[in-house]
Chains A and B, each alone.
Chain A
Amino acid sequence: MDLSATLGLDAAHTLDPAPFAIGGVAPRLAVRPATREELSEILAACTRDRLAAVPWGGGTGLTHMSPPARYDVAIQMSAFDTIVDYDPEDMTITAECGATLASLAAALAARGQELPIEGGETARATLGGALAANSSGARRLRFGSPRDRVLGASFALSGGTIARTGGRVVKNVAGYGIHRLLCGSRGGLAALVQASLKLVPAPEARRGLLYDATAHELRDASRWTFLPRLEPAAVVVLGRDAARATGAGIGNSFTVVIALEDDRPWVEQQSIQIRSALGAAREVVEGGAVPLLLQAITDLVEARPSEAGIQALTLVSPWNSPAALGVVLDDPASPGLVQHSLAGRLHLELGLGAPSTVRRLTESGFIVTEHRGGAAPEPAIPPFRAILAASARIRRALDPGAVWAYGDEWQPRPDAPRTHTTEPRSHDR
């Protein structure tokens, strides 16, 4: 069947599907709508013909994901790349979701402001992709996640209607925040078309303090307890290989990067307090070198997995200290680890035969939030049945034709490993 004919598309709107492969599986067709009307028509046709679609941004994250069960059409959103409204005095921006993070950052930098959404490969990664992936980086604690930043959005539903919730002003409780629900939905509920976001001013001063640390030092919780209260912009622990790959370290130990981004007098005072607690840094980087280093770390994590037989995992925990790494410091995976300490988040690359590492981590309070490459680790993402039922109802309500291929991720999957079946815990005792 000629899908492009089915969808009523001419050659000008179709693309070579090969570059749109997810986990090695290419769609039958790739399309690039030029207008919202065309996007609506394509989605209406997908609904009519029961085709499974994936909205496509820069592909930086999708390329590495596990392929969906059905994947007929990739919808390339790159035509929607306009900055619709930006006034620095409003400290908000409204942009179409195909705009790249780098293009937005450039427009904002010219006016001394920043979009507080961190994603990998910003020259390719799009706003829509970053929102859909709920993308965040080293500054997660300070910036919040995309759902904390998005003020409103327009999104295309599977039947072809384009709806909007929220708005462009910084406070808004008029109606349901579906735009927030779409953050992290991985294209499983709607295709983001346009979004408004809260910005932050660029900091007056930036400084990165790089420390070597042994496993023994990292395990010493008392060594790090002062850090969260000092409110640095980021604290990152890098394993040996991760440190070398990002240029943060050269030796055989772990590297701790403490990023300070604030008013200059406070950065100076933070530096003094950190030095008195940890001693002199092995290396100090200043100014623009700090975001470059943090970006290199994000890029490293986003580019995983780079080789067959390796799976990349993201885990979160409530622990905001390098000491939370205790259970993996002697693991074969430790040279590749990246921990965003203040965010309680750990990125790890594992060989496929390393389930015991994941088990040790989950036993110490980590939860797997993302895995790429290879089979799902044990335990799989631990869903609570009641949430799954609610999620499935939401999916059916917003995508009744089951067009969005990744919507399947939202459905209860009876075949999924379910070693983590804890029912919700009441804290009232």
Chain B
Amino acid sequence: MPLARERIAELEALLGADGVLWSDAARFTYEADALTLERFAPDVIVLPKRTDEVAAIVRWARTHGLAVTPRGAGTGLAGGATPEHGGISLSLNRMDRLLRVDPERMHAWVQPGLVNLSLSQQVEPHGLYYAPDPASQQVSTIGGNVATNAGGPHCLKYGVTLNHVLGLVAVLYDGSVVTLGGEALDAPDADLLAVVTGSEGTLAIITEICVRLMPRPQAVKTMLFDFDRIDAACRAVSAAIASGIVPAAMEIMDQHTTRLVEDWLHIGLPLDAGAVLLIEVDGPAVAIEAQAERIIALALAQGARSTRVAKDAAERAAIWKGRKSAFGAYGRLASGFYIMDGVVPRTRLAEALETIVRLAAERGLECGNVFHAGDGNLHPHVLFDSNDPGAQARALDAAHEILRMCIRMGGTISGEHGVGIEKRPLMSEVYGEDDLAAMERLRAAFDPERRLNPGKILPGGGGCGETRAVNGRPEGAPARLRGVATASGDVEGPWI
């Protein structure tokens, strides 16, 4: 419900007239992130520019009993930025500055709305970069990355976002401002930074971030292998890890996906391969030749039919473009698809993929797999005709069964996208009552008034029971995703 005009005036007094949006069109724009079947319009959208403005908004929200849902670029796939309980959508997009770089000590202070790739581009003159590279990095923000503890293809070697965050300035539920961690690697007192990272905006609102920067690798080698069978590609991944090499990235596309991408982009992918495996090594120039040779030998021993090594930056970019365009390629084939973010132990990849294909086939559906093989992080896509309600229901059923398989194999339901609204009902299948109760207590300690992104992550958070229908669909159903608008000619589309 839109706010009364006098309330808007109060917010405008805090932020200036251009810092408050409240038209129906604006409220419509902010009613969802990239999970679009869950739509809840905020009462108002605010666009602060500084930490003290965020703190003032939170205090104001407290006075008026409104929820505050922080939002970065809105690329999240789980509904984490959707203002489910109305109230304030707090967009951090205008807090997008690189505040300070310290090239000698290799860190930088940034505002949360800074786009991930922009950070690496801005510190490039110092020979540095920011290692976490979620596939959304051209659009997604550092703040959003911290909120979901984002991964990316290169976190196999370099770790996830948490491993690159030194300090946070955050606003707590009562509007108080705290610094968690700092510029040093360690800090006294409880490590609250480590639990705020990945908490999807439910524990605190992050307003400044000190990130660790790394020296750019001297050299990179990108290799593409093709296999008759996907299980052989998975065995090559295990063999590489067991050999003591940690490649920068290891990604697999199955035959279904490879064909769709090749039909679209014509980048020379083998149409008859059961799977293609992309392996990238980086590091000192003197070391990576030997690493690449060992990996090629291991892949051949596991049955790789051919090896393609990128000759230059252009070929490397083409290979990565193929990998990152999978999502868009599915969109060309089917009118609807569910995407999952499950994780299994690396050693069970082959078994997991076989099961995924079977679970889809049993329901008369096609599926594709493109995934972070080195991390065991699967992104199965179950395709369906969105005009066929029966097919959609079967796809939803398959998606749930696939995530249950991940849990049974010792894995989990989300590796990098977060729980948000979408995976909330499955949390009680991953965790027991005591586990969820401990999480609930932690959350209440940070936010006793349930003001910050209320309802997300923990089951029961919807407030009306988990079986209620949302927009005519049972809550908990993974929703279809809408395409995120991209620049013309950008084939990558939404990001996984």
Measured CB to CB, the residues of A under 8 A from B are 87-92, 112-113, 134, 136, 140-141, 144-145, 147-148, 157, 161-165, 167-178, 180-181, 183-185, 200-202, 204, 225, 228-229, 231, 262-263, 265-266, 268-269, 316-320, 343-345, 367-370, 381-384, 386-391, 393-394, 396-398, 410, 423-429
Stretch at the interface among B32-40, B323-331, B441-449: B441-449
A200 CA / B156 CA spacing, docked (Å): 11
What are the 5 A-B residue pairs with the smallest beta carbon separation, nearest first?
A171-B415, A318-B183, A201-B244, A180-B194, A397-B445
Is the pair B185, A141 in contact by a Cβ cutoff of 8 Å?
A: yes
**Chain A residues near B417 (CB-CB < 8 A):** 173
- Does A229 contact B127, Cβ atoms closer than 8 Å? yes
A178 near B414 with CB under 8 A, answer: no
Instruction: Give Cα distance in the complex from A382 to B182, angstroms.
Output: 12
Q: Which residues of B, 157-212, contact A by the 8 Å Cβ criterion?
A: 159-160, 162-163, 169, 172, 176-180, 182-192, 194-195, 197-199, 203, 208, 210
The answer, among A90, A147, A175, A318, for a CB contact under 8 Å with B182, is A318
User: Which one of B344, B423, B442 contacts A394 once the chains associate, using CB atoms below 8 Å?
Assistant: B442
Contact yes or no, B412 A172, CB < 8 A? yes
Known: A157-B438, A171-B416. A89 touches B347 (CB 8 A): yes
Known contacts A410-B190, A426-B169, A173 near B347 by CB under 8 Å: no
B208 contacts A427, CB within 8 Å? yes
Residues of B close to A398: CB separation below 8 A:
438, 441-442, 445
Partner pick for A145 among B169, B185, B244, B435, CB 8 A cutoff? B185
User: How distant is the Cα of A429 from the Cα of B151 in the complex, in angstroms?
Assistant: 30
| Residue pair A176, B432 in contact (C-beta under 8 Å) | no
B13-21, B284-292, B354-362 - the one binding chain A:
B284-292
Contact with A along B329-348 (1 / 0, CB 8 A): 00000000000000111110
**What 0/1 readout, one digit per residue, does chain B (94-110) give for beta carbons within 8 Å of chain A?**
00010110101111010
Taking a contact as CB atoms closer than 8 A, the residue among A87, A144, A176, A428 that contacts B457 in the complex is A176
- Hey, which chain B residues are within 8 Å of A228, CB to CB? 104-106
Say whether B435 contacts A163, CB under 8 Å.
yes
Q: B483 interface residue, CB < 8 Å from A?
A: no
Chain B residue nearest to A228 (CB atoms) is B106
Shortest beta-carbon distance from B407 to chain A in Å:
9
Q: Which residues of A contact B127 (CB under 8 A)?
A: 229
- Partner of B346 from the list A91, A157, A369, A370 (CB cut-off 8 Å) is A91
| B362-381 Cβ-contact flags toward A at 8 Å (1 or 0) | 00000000001001110000
Q: List 13 A-B contacts (CB under 8 A).
A: A167-B343, A169-B344, A174-B413, A174-B430, A178-B438, A181-B190, A229-B127, A231-B215, A383-B189, A390-B172, A390-B445, A393-B445, A428-B51
Known A89-B347, A393-B448: A200·B442 in contact at CB below 8 Å: no
Give complex CA distance A375, B195 in Å.
31
A90, A174, A180, A394: the one within 8 Å of B347 (CB)? A90
Q: Is the CB of A172 within 8 A of B290?
A: no
- In the complex, how many angstroms separate the beta carbon of A357 from the nearest chain B beta carbon? 18
A168 contacts across to B, CB distance below 8 A: 345, 410
Give A426's nearest chain B residue, CB to CB.
B51
Cβ A169 vs Cβ B246 within 8 A: no
Which of B183, B184, B246, B286 has its CB near the most chain A CB atoms (within 10 A)? Answer: B184
- Within B387-418, the residues touching A (CB, 8 Å) are 410-418
A35 CB → nearest B CB, Å: 17
Chain B residues positioned under 8 Å from A383 (CB to CB):
188-189
Given contacts A176-B443, A177-B197, A265-B287, 9 further A-B contacts (CB under 8 A): A134-B186, A169-B412, A170-B346, A170-B375, A173-B149, A176-B442, A263-B290, A318-B105, A410-B190
Q: Which residue of A lies closest to B128 (CB)?
A: A229
Residues on A with beta carbons closer than 8 Å to the beta carbon of B435: 163-165, 175
B284 — which chain A residues lie within 8 A by C-beta?
262-263, 265-266, 269
In this complex, how many residues of chain B approach chain A with their Cβ under 8 Å: the count is 101
Q: Which residues of A contact B376 (CB under 8 A)?
A: 90, 169-171
Contact A369 B438 (CB under 8 A): no
Question: Which residues of chain A are within 8 angstroms of B434 by Cβ–Cβ distance?
Answer: 161-163
Q: Does B484 contact A (CB under 8 A)?
A: no
Docked Cα-Cα span, A344 to B187, in Å, equals 11
Shortest Cβ distance from A342 into B: residue: B185
Q: Are B194's CB and A174's CB within 8 A?
A: no
Q: Judging by beta carbons under 8 Å apart, are A317 and B198 in contact?
A: no
Which residue of the partner chain, among B100, B149, B345, contacts A169 with CB atoms under 8 Å?
B345
B188 near A424: Cβ-Cβ < 8 Å: no
Say whether B427 faces chain A, with CB atoms less than 8 Å apart. Answer: yes
Q: Using Cβ atoms and an 8 Å threshold, which residues of chain B touch A176?
A: 195, 198-199, 203, 439, 442-443, 457
Least CB distance, A141 to chain B, in whole angstroms: 7
In the complex, A262 Cα to B283 Cα: how many Å?
11
Query: Which of B343, B412, B458 lies at the interface centre, i.e. has the most chain A CB atoms within 10 A of its CB?
Result: B412
Cβ–Cβ contact A266 & B283, under 8 A: yes
The answer to whether B179 and A169 touch across the interface, beta carbons within 8 angstroms, is no
* Distance between Cα atoms of A263 and B199 in the complex (Å): 37
Question: Which of A88, A163, A172, A389 is the one whose CB lies under 8 Å from B415?
Answer: A172
Question: Is residue B155 contacting chain A, with contact meaning CB distance below 8 A?
Answer: yes
Q: Which residue of A lies closest to B177 (CB)?
A: A424
Separation of A268 and B287 alpha carbons in the complex (Å) = 10
B148 at interface (Cβ–Cβ under 8 A)?
A: yes
What chain B residues lie within 8 Å of A318 (beta carbons)? 102, 105, 107, 182-184
Q: A318-B105, A427-B100 are in contact. Are A390 and B187 (CB under 8 A)?
A: no
- Which residues of chain B (4-50) have a CB below 8 Å from chain A? 50
Question: Quick check: B52 and A426 within 8 Å, CB to CB?
Answer: yes
B443–A88 touching, CB < 8 Å: no
Contacts of A163 in B (CB 8 A): 432, 434-435, 437-438
Query: B487 contacts the other chain (Cβ, under 8 Å)?
Result: no
Decide if A345 touches B188 in the complex (CB within 8 Å): no
In the complex, A340 Cα to B97 Cα: how many Å?
A: 32
Most chain B CB within 10 A, of A423, A425, A428, is at: A428
In the complex, are the beta carbons of B186 and A316 less than 8 A apart?
yes
Contact yes or no, B439 A171, CB < 8 A:
no
Nearest opposing residue in chain B for A200, CB measure: B246
- Among A161, A173, A177, A229, point to the contact of B215 (Cβ < 8 A): A229
B192 A172 Cβ-Cβ under 8 A: no
Is B297 positioned at the interface, with any CB of A under 8 Å from its CB? no
B320 within 8 A of A: no
Q: Are A425 and B431 in touch, CB under 8 angstroms?
A: no
In the bound complex, CA of A51 to CA of B64 (Å): 43
Whether A171 lies near B375 (C-beta < 8 A) is yes
Bound complex: CA A200 to CA B246 (Å): 8
A150 CB → nearest B CB, Å: 9
Which residues of the partner chain A approach B162 to less than 8 Å between Cβ atoms?
Answer: 147-148, 180
The chain A residue with its CB closest to the CB of B178 is A386
A359: min CB distance to chain B, Å: 17
Q: From residue A161, how far is it (CB to closest CB) to chain B in Å?
A: 5
Q: In the complex, A388 Cα to B245 Cα: how many Å?
A: 43
Give the residues in chain B near A231, CB-CB below 8 Å: 215
Evaluate whether A320 and B105 lie within 8 angstroms (CB atoms) in the complex, with A167-B412, A172-B343, A178-B438 already known: yes
Across the interface, A112 reaches (CB within 8 A) one of B180, B244, B246, namely B244
| A134 and B191 contact, Cβ closer than 8 Å, known pairs A163-B435, A200-B246, A343-B186 | yes
**CB atoms of A173 and B111 under 8 A apart:** no
B184–A367 touching, CB < 8 Å: yes
Q: Closest CB of chain A to B359's CB: distance in Å?
A: 20
